[in-house]
Amino acid sequence: MTMTDKLFREGALLPVLTVVLSIIVIWYAGSIRLNSPQLIDRYEKNGLDWTFAELAFDAWEMERPVLPSPHQVGIELKKTVIDKPFTSKRSLVYHAGITLSSSLLGFALGALLGIGLAVGIVYVSTLDRSLMPWIIASQTIPILALAPMIIVVLGSIGITGLFPKSVISMYLCFFPVVVGMVKGLRSPEPILIDQMRTYSASATQIFFKLRLPSSIPFLFASLKVAVALSVVGAIVAELPTGGQGGLGARLLSGSYYGQITMIWAALIVASLVSASLVAFIGIMERIALRRLNGGQAALG
């Protein structure tokens, strides 16, 4: 059970709504504050009198706002998500599809790599001592900075399209999976492993009957982190490809053409994609844990 579910059971709906509402109120207020200097300039240039109500209204409806108001973003979303056919290059669904496919591929590759490395680390002590410190170090370096280079280098040897972008996602994904799986595979109490030994279970049997099932809760916790990272990786990987497609490309072209509403819309779609992927893993987790625990409510 995720933290969020638990909180909702404890009656967090009202507080969450309050926080969300205050964010929207602050957003509207911020949009007046940030857009007003330009507007006041314009009023003064044209020698117009203005009231605060007029200012607020104009700020929320500005053509090229510094901070678009929530409903402007909403209209942009409707325009680019619902009104356009999904196949159109101007549809955010089309771009979200591109980002989603490369992040999913990267996520799958990263999860497999992570699980494989974790098994190696748990079973081969030399790997544990030689590789583990570097796996940790690999994440202290800003790997996203490699994105442009990986795209260009792989492109120059003829590998383009989905795969180079997925490599970035994969690199971001494998780390939480390794760490979580190592912890998970090591989580069975020594007494349980001894018990398996008394049954003279083989190493494979211990792995599939004890270590693997014990690691499932850890695996899912890591997968949730990893899937969110895979979207980040895909978006950043789309930056250097400039305008070919994907939410990252939308962010970049929005920033080139000063279309701030477009950036916000792309950002919100990216958040939705990411949050629904995390939610999906959460559902899978609940199903898996329910099956594992024989119908009992999942923990943690």
Cα–Cα distance, 238 to 249 (Å, whole number): 6
Contact assessment for residue 237 and residue 248, using Cβ atoms and an 8 Å cutoff: yes
Among 101, 139, 160, 187, binds another protein (CB under 8 A): 139
Least Å from the CB of residue 48 to another protein: 26
Give the rounded distance of the alpha carbon of 1 from its chain centre. 20
DSSP structural state of residue 69 = -
158 binds another protein (CB under 8 A): no
Beta-carbon count within 10 A of 164 CB = 20
Shorter beta-carbon distance to another protein: residue 113 or 267? 267
Of the pair 162, 260, the CB lying nearest another protein is at 260
Applying CB under 8 A, among 45, 85, 87, 137 the residue interacting with another protein is 137
Q: Pick from 73, 81, 223, 251: which binds another protein (CB under 8 A)? A: 251
Torsion of CA 94, 100, 102, 104, to 10 degrees: -150
Cβ-based nearer residue to another protein, 109 or 119: 119
The whole-angstrom separation of Cα 244 and Cα 254 is: 13
| Binding map of another protein across residues 61-100, x = CB under 8 A, - = no contact | -----xx---------------------------------
Question: Is 130 or 244 the residue whose CB approaches another protein more closely?
Answer: 130
Q: Which of 196, 252, 289, 298 binds another protein (CB under 8 A)?
A: 252
Using CB under 8 A as the binding rule, whether residue 202 contacts another protein is answered as no
Does residue 27 contact residue 69 with C-beta atoms inside 8 Å? yes
Q: Does 254 bind another protein (CB under 8 A)?
A: yes
Burial of 172 (0-12, 13-18, 19+ CB in 10 A): buried
Q: Considering only residues 156, 198, 200, 296, which one is a binding residue for another protein as defined by CB under 8 A?
A: 156
**CA–CA distance from 41 to each of 33, 34, 44, 45, 280 (Å)?**
13, 13, 5, 6, 48
Kindly state the smallest distance separating residue 13's Cβ from another protein, in Å: 9
The 106-135 contact track toward another protein, x by CB under 8 A, reads: -----------------xxxx-xxxxxxx-
CA contacts within 13 A on the Cβ side of 201:
17
Burial 20-40 (b: 16+ CB within 10 A, else e): eeeeeeeebeebbeebbeebe
Residue list 229-248, contact with another protein (CB under 8 A): 231-232, 235-236, 239-240, 247
Q: Of the two residues 16 and 40, which places its CB atom closer to another protein in the complex?
A: 16
User: CB-hemisphere CA count at 13 Å for 209?
Assistant: 13
- Which residue's structure tokens are 């796996």? 135
Q: Is residue 278 involved in binding another protein (CB under 8 A)?
A: yes
Closest CB 19 distance from another protein, rounded Å: 3
Neighbours of 182 (CB within 10 A): 23
Q: What is the DSSP letter of 84?
A: S
Q: Which helix (H) or strand (E) holds 285?
A: helix 260-292
Residues in contact with another protein by CB under 8 A are 2-4, 7-8, 10-12, 15-20, 23, 34, 66-67, 123-126, 128-134, 137, 139-146, 148-149, 152-153, 156-157, 203, 224, 228, 231-232, 235-236, 239-240, 247, 251-252, 254-255, 258, 260, 263-264, 266-267, 270-271, 274-275, 277-278
